[in-house]
Every structure is written in structure tokens, then in C-alpha cells.
Amino acid sequence: MRPYIFITRRIPETIIQSLKEKFDVNMWKYEDIPVPREILIAEAKKADALLTMLTESIDETILTAGRNLKVIANNAVGYDNVDVATATRKKIAVCNTPDVLTDTTADLTFALLMATSRRVVEAAEFVKQGKWQSWSPFLLAGQDVHHKTIGIVGMGKIGEAVAKRASGFEMQILYHNRTKKPKVEQQLGAVYTTFDELIEKADFIVCLTPLTSETRHLFNRSVFKKMKPTAIFINASRGPVVDEQALFEALTAGDIAGAGLDVFEKEPISADHPLLRLPNIVALPHIGSATQETRQAMLQLCADNIEAILEGKQPKTLVNKDWIPLVRA
């Protein structure tokens, strides 16, 4: 029998055509509705490979049900939705989609920074709602971006790409990361700082750190209080890195000037969430990598990784480097 692949969302046929020529492929019928948990478990029991989205929790239950599973191809750079330790123990490869979305996500991150600082969304709604009756010197006046100080928390590849864009606006670039980046410092003039120094000095604090036990609620009430009252906070990493109640309190108390968010603790965010009532919030539905070109490239990389594993080859982007493949009979 041919290996069986289950895909947890409907994706373009062009992506899976090559897989269908070699394997049996089935996918969930909806593009915008997550696959129900019970169906995912049932499919995992039959599957040799799963192509998953961030919305699916690939936990021990799924991995234990998947007795034949050889690979989880997660359509994202992040993989906090996958129990990598259990997958490794069960000799299941976990793959992600780095690199192909770096520039696209950096574009969106900087666009979110600009939209928040210049009150673009608020201004657009002002016009649409018929509120623009006259011109005045400080009508919807925002803050300059050029020549300001940007602080990037998490200087991975996306962080480096954001820093490159910031250099075009002649911004001073501060960064905090687990390791220093001499190349970025040399090429862009970025300056490594402690976390506390960054949040106290930066006009724009951009969160691009991965979600770990150490970074969960990294941005809490005490951190927001240390920021400038004119500071703008941007999160394009993972929602749980931010304590949303603390952010709401910081914004309503005037501790910071505004926030641009592409991610939230619970997604999709409820329309009655307190943050969405604030005029100085720009909220996006987790679209950091959402361009036609990049989403196609991400899915193609997932397909390539699955094909490689099922054919006994090394995948292109392996997360669990200590993965040991099952010995084929």
C-alpha cells in the first residue's frame, strides 16, 4: 500500500499534485475552518505524514494515535503547537518553513509599525465614517518613524530583516537576543543591549522572539511601565509572549502610546476583546506571511519535506535535529 498523507486544511491542488503521483493524499475540505479534533485523531491513526497548521495542537495524543507517523510538516516557522520532544521519542520527524517567509513577515512587521505610529487605520476609518469635515494642523497627528530608535527583541532572521528596513529610515537600532549578532552590528550599526535597557530607550519595541517557557508573558505590566509614554509596541511573533490584560492596562493608563498586534493569546481573537475597543490599537488577523507568493512557497516546502521523509531522504528543514528515522524493513 502507498503511504497515506493527511493535510489539515484545503490547499491548492498544484501543491499536492506531485504528492498524489506517489502517495495517497487526503485533506480537510475547508480552507478557513480548522479540522475538528476527533477527525484529526482519526486521520492520524491512518497517516504516515501530516501537513499541519499552527491552529492544530499536535500533542502526545495525536502522536500516540499516529502509529505509522513518520513526519509532521508544520506550515509555519514556529512549532510551539507541536510536542517536539514526544515526536522525537517516537522517531517522528518535525519540519517547519523557515527562510521562505522572512522578508514577507518583515514587510508586514514594519507596515504594522508604520500604520500604528501614523494612525493609518484610524485615519482611514475617520474618512469612511464621514467624520472628515475640515482640516486642522494636528488632525490625527501621529509620530515620526524616521530617525527614531527601534528596539528588536529576538534578532533571528526576521529580526535582521526588520533591522535592515529600519536602517532605510535612518533609525537607531537596538536589539536583544540570546546571542550577539556581530554581522548585523557591522552591516547595520545595530547595538546589543540588555532587555531592560532596550525597553527603556526604544521608541518602537518590536517583539519577534519565539514562544518558550522563558518568553511566555515576557511583556507584562512591569515591563510596559518601564517603556517611554510615547513608545509603540509591536508584536509579530506569538500572542502568549504578551500579557494582554497588562497591555490593555498600559494603554488605558497612558504608560505607552499605542500597539500594533498581528498575534494574540487566543486566536481568532473575540470581537468583544477589550483591546479591540481602544483607538490606539492596530489589530491584524495573524497575516505576517500572508502573500500569495510566500504562502505557496511555505506549502511547497511542507510538501517537499514530506516527500523526502517518505522516500527515506533527508528533509530540507528539520526541527528535531536528533531525530532518528525508523529503520525500514
The answer to whether residues 265 and 162 belong to one domain is yes
- Looking at the structure, tell me whether residues 87 and 164 fall in a common domain: no
95 and 199 together in one domain: no
Question: Does 323 fall in a domain?
Answer: no
Say what the pLDDT of residue 324 is: 81
For residue 327, the model assigns a pLDDT of: 44
Domain-embedded: residue 322: no
Residues of the chain with pLDDT under 70: 326-329
- Name residue, grid cell 482611514: 124
Domain count, the chain: 2
Give the N- to C-terminal CA distance of the chain in Å, as an integer.
14
Q: Is residue 324 part of a domain?
A: no
Contact 247, 274 (CB under 8 A): no
Global confidence as pTM: 0.93
Task: Give the rounded percent of residues in the chain with a pLDDT score beyond 90.
Answer: 97
Catalytic residue among 13, 267, 293, 311: 267
Annotated catalytic residue: which of 56, 286, 295, 307?
286
Determine the 3-state secondary structure of 142 from DSSP.
Answer: coil
pLDDT of residue 197: 98
Q: Is there a catalytic annotation at residue 176?
A: no
Active site residue 197: no
90 and 155 inside one domain: no
> Could you tell me if residue 89 is inside a domain?
yes
185 and 220 together in one domain: yes
- Is residue 147, in this structure, part of any structural domain at all? yes
Do residue 51 and residue 148 come from a single domain? no
Let me know if residue 327 belongs to a domain. Answer: no
Considering the candidates 165, 238, 295, 307, report the single residue annotated as catalytic. Answer: 238
Q: With contact defined as beta carbons under 8 Å apart, do 265 and 244 qualify?
A: yes
Whether 19 is covered by a domain: the verdict is yes
**52 and 134 housed in the same domain:** no
What are the residue ranges of helices labelled H in the chain?
A: 13-22, 37-46, 60-65, 84-89, 102-117, 120-128, 157-168, 182-188, 195-201, 221-226, 244-253, 292-310
- Cα–Cα distance, 213 to 215 (Å, whole number): 6
Catalytic (active site) residue 238: yes
- For residue 298, give the C-alpha cell: 511555505
Residue 156 counted as domain residue: yes
Residues 59 and 107 in one domain: no
Cα–Cα nearest to 286, from 302, 268, 259: 268
Instruction: Give residue 326's pLDDT.
Output: 59
Q: Which amino acid is at 315?
A: P
Q: Which residues form the domain of 170?
A: 102-283
Q: Give pLDDT, residue 1.
A: 87
175 and 210 assigned to the same domain? yes
Phi first, then psi: give them for residue 260, nearest 5 degrees: -120, 125
Q: Are residues 248 and 220 in the same domain?
A: yes
Q: Are residues 121 and 264 in the same domain?
A: yes
- Same domain membership, residue 263 and residue 114: yes
Q: In this structure, what CATH number is given to the domain that contains residue 127?
A: 3.40.50.720
